[in-house]
Amino acid sequence: MTDRRSEILAVIKDTRSLPTIPAIIGKLNAMSVSDKASIQEMARMVSSDQVLSARVLRLANSPSYGFYRVSTISNAMILLGVDVVKSLALSSSIFEIMEKSVLGLWEHSLGAGVAANIIAKRLRLHDCEEISTAALLHDIGKVIMKIKFPDEYSQLLSSIHNDENYFQEAELELFGIDHAEVGGWLAKYWFLPDKLIEPIACHHDVEKAGNHQVKASVVHLADILIKASGFGFSGDDVVHPLSELAWQRLNLNDVIIRDIIEELEDKMVEVKNFTLELQSADAL
Amino acid sequence: MQNIPISQSQPGMTLAKDVVRPDNPNGSPLCGKGVELTAPIIMRLQNMGVQSIIVEGHPLWLEGDKTLEELLADLDHRFRRLDDHPRMQAIKDVYRDCIINSMEGSAQNDR
């Protein structure tokens, strides 16, 4: 199985067929490393690519960030942070693919972003925007797997349907690697910070997270809650059990969890409208 | 509560959420939640370019809408592997309450 796993990783790492990383991101990475560059300079650079800016703003205005109305890249960088804008720029082409070919997964990701935002705010955590972004990106490994291994991916989906497996179990059986690890790898390849990599890579296994167990726990809970609410389709329709460690790390109790779920369900009425509007805008 | 197209709204329905201007969602709302719709209000909202509103209960049955029983059966189905997880059963109960609450307003409207 290890061979199969490294074979899979090798195919994924073959950057020729990875969704292209805009050249601007390389420059942005270099800029954010040097302390000299100001947010304004970085914003000007992203804004110089109109298609990219439009995609980033569209994601920045999604309900995952609690309905900010951001109209410029420079505002997005101030409100959401440079790391978040960078991750949105990097992942925007994947979201484009998701919206067109795996709508259910796009809805699931968007919903997880909304849930994570509500959880992080209710628990008064720092880095709410990073946590929402990690949740928005948590299943990005699934899209890559679908792009790289289209035949196996459909085989995977039908085996889940027939055997009532969890998606992740079926993945491990077929590929020897799961979408969380692939997503974490991709985030690392994009030079995203650990606070985004760990929650993506460990959203099914909070224990594996190092310094960012709390963030991983939020994404783990957000994934479960959005599946419980039945919004979107992540590949299977079975709710996972919540990890005991995540429960403890977030200091949850019955009152808090009820508050979070009620707020999420209330919010989802608006979010459903948001995705419908996006679809009708695309159809025009 | 239910999200409905403004064209299908009827006097007597109650807003469950504020209605905001489509071109300025951060501005003050055009109409606050709790307001009972009248024909002039609906016309005004339509003229302002509002596409959809969120109203109390489930007054409108659109194609593909699920009944309360169907929604609860779907919930049971999603939690089917968690029968021996007391904590997940408690979480499921919260969802059950939310689903029942969101549909119940409609029964009041029908009365």
Q: Cβ A269–B95 below 8 Å, yes or no?
A: no
Task: Tell whether A14 lies on the interface with B, counting CB pairs under 8 A.
Answer: no
Contact, A19 vs A94, CB < 8 A? Answer: yes
Q: Cβ B3–A269 below 8 Å, yes or no?
A: yes
List, in order of start, the domains of chain A with CATH numbers.
Answer: 2-17+90-283 (1.10.3210.10)
Select from B74, B102, B97, B52 the least CA-distant residue to A228.
B74
A26 compared with A104, residue with greater pLDDT: A104
Q: How far apart are the first and last CA of chain A?
A: 47
A172 compared with A50, residue with greater pLDDT: A172
Rounded to whole angstroms, how far apart are CA atoms A66 and A83?
18
Q: Is A187 helix (H, G, I), strand (E, B) or coil?
A: helix
Tell me which chain B residues have a C-beta less than 8 angstroms from the C-beta of A270: 3, 17, 54
Rounded to whole angstroms, how far apart are CA atoms B5 and B17?
14
Confidence of residue B106 (pLDDT cuts 50, 70, 90): very low
Task: Tell whether B81 lies on the interface with A, counting CB pairs under 8 A.
Answer: yes
Confidence of residue A284 (pLDDT cuts 50, 70, 90): very low
pLDDT at position A279: 61
Contact, A218 vs A201, CB < 8 A? Answer: no
Tokens 């800016």, residue located: A53
Per-residue tokens: A152: 């196996």
Tell me which chain A residues have a C-beta less than 8 angstroms from the C-beta of B87: 241-242, 247
Could you write out the three-class secondary structure of A123-136?
CCCCCHHHHHHHHH
pLDDT at position A203: 97
Confidence of residue B111 (pLDDT cuts 50, 70, 90): very low
Contact, A11 vs A148, CB < 8 A? Answer: yes
Rounded to whole angstroms, how far apart are CA atoms A23 and A257?
43
Give the list of residues 6+ apart from residue A232 with CB closer than 8 angstroms, or none: A104, A105, A106, A107, A108, A109, A110, A111, A226
Task: Tell whether B39 lies on the interface with A, counting CB pairs under 8 A.
Answer: no
Residue-range domain boundaries for chain B: 2-55, 68-110
Taking all residues of chain A, what is their mean pLDDT, rounded to a whole number?
86
Task: Tell whether A16 lies on the interface with B, counting CB pairs under 8 A.
Answer: no
Confidence of residue B109 (pLDDT cuts 50, 70, 90): very low
pLDDT at position A56: 87
pLDDT at position B16: 92
pLDDT tens digit sequence for B7-52: 999 999 999 999 988 777 777 889 999 999 999 999 999 999 898 8
Give the list of residues 6+ apart from residue A96 with CB closer than 8 angstroms, or none: A55
Tell me which chain B residues have a C-beta less than 8 angstroms from the C-beta of A79: none
Rounded to whole angstroms, how far apart are CA atoms B13 and B56?
7
User: Which region, left, alpha or beta, applies to residue A263 given φ > 0 means left and ψ of -120 to 50 means alpha?
Assistant: alpha
Q: What is the mean predicted confidence (pLDDT) over A45-51?
A: 83
Tell me which chain A residues have a C-beta less than 8 angstroms from the C-beta of B85: 241
For residue B55, the 8-state DSSP code is E
Tell me which chain B residues have a C-beta less than 8 angstroms from the C-beta of A261: 91, 94-95, 98
Q: Is A56 helix (H, G, I), strand (E, B) or coil?
A: helix
pLDDT tens digit sequence for A98-147: 777 788 998 999 999 999 999 999 999 998 989 999 999 999 999 888 88
- Residues 117-136 on A with a CB inside 8 Å of B are none
Cβ-nearest to B87 among A230, A242, A272 = A242
- How far does Cα B50 stand from its chain's mean position? 17
- How far does Cα A55 stand from its chain's mean position? 15
Q: Does A68 score more than 80 pLDDT?
A: no
pLDDT at position B27: 79
CA atoms lying within 13 Å on the CB side of residue A234: 33
pLDDT at position A232: 92
A44 compared with A255, residue with greater pLDDT: A255
Contact, B14 vs B55, CB < 8 A? Answer: yes
Tell me which chain A residues have a C-beta less than 8 angstroms from the C-beta of B51: 277
Mutate to test the interface with A, among B98, B99, B101 (most CBs of A within 10 A): B98
Q: Does B95 score more than 90 pLDDT?
A: yes
- How far does Cα A125 stand from its chain's mean position? 18
Task: Tell whether A256 lies on the interface with B, counting CB pairs under 8 A.
Answer: no
Burial of A251 by CB count in 10 Å (0-12 exposed, 13-18 middle, 19+ buried)?
exposed
Give the list of residues 6+ apart from residue B48 with CB closer than 8 angstroms, or none: B21, B22, B30
Q: What is the mean predicted confidence (pLDDT) over B59-77?
A: 91
Rounded to whole angstroms, how far apart are CA atoms A135 and A226?
11
Cβ-nearest to B88 among A229, A242, A273 = A242
pLDDT at position B103: 86
Write down the architecture of domain B2-55 according to CATH.
Alpha-Beta Complex (3.90)
pLDDT at position A52: 82
Helices A82-101/A128-137 angle, 10° precision? 30
Q: Does A227 score more than 70 pLDDT?
A: yes
Confidence of residue A67 (pLDDT cuts 50, 70, 90): low
Cβ-nearest to B52 among A69, A262, A273 = A273
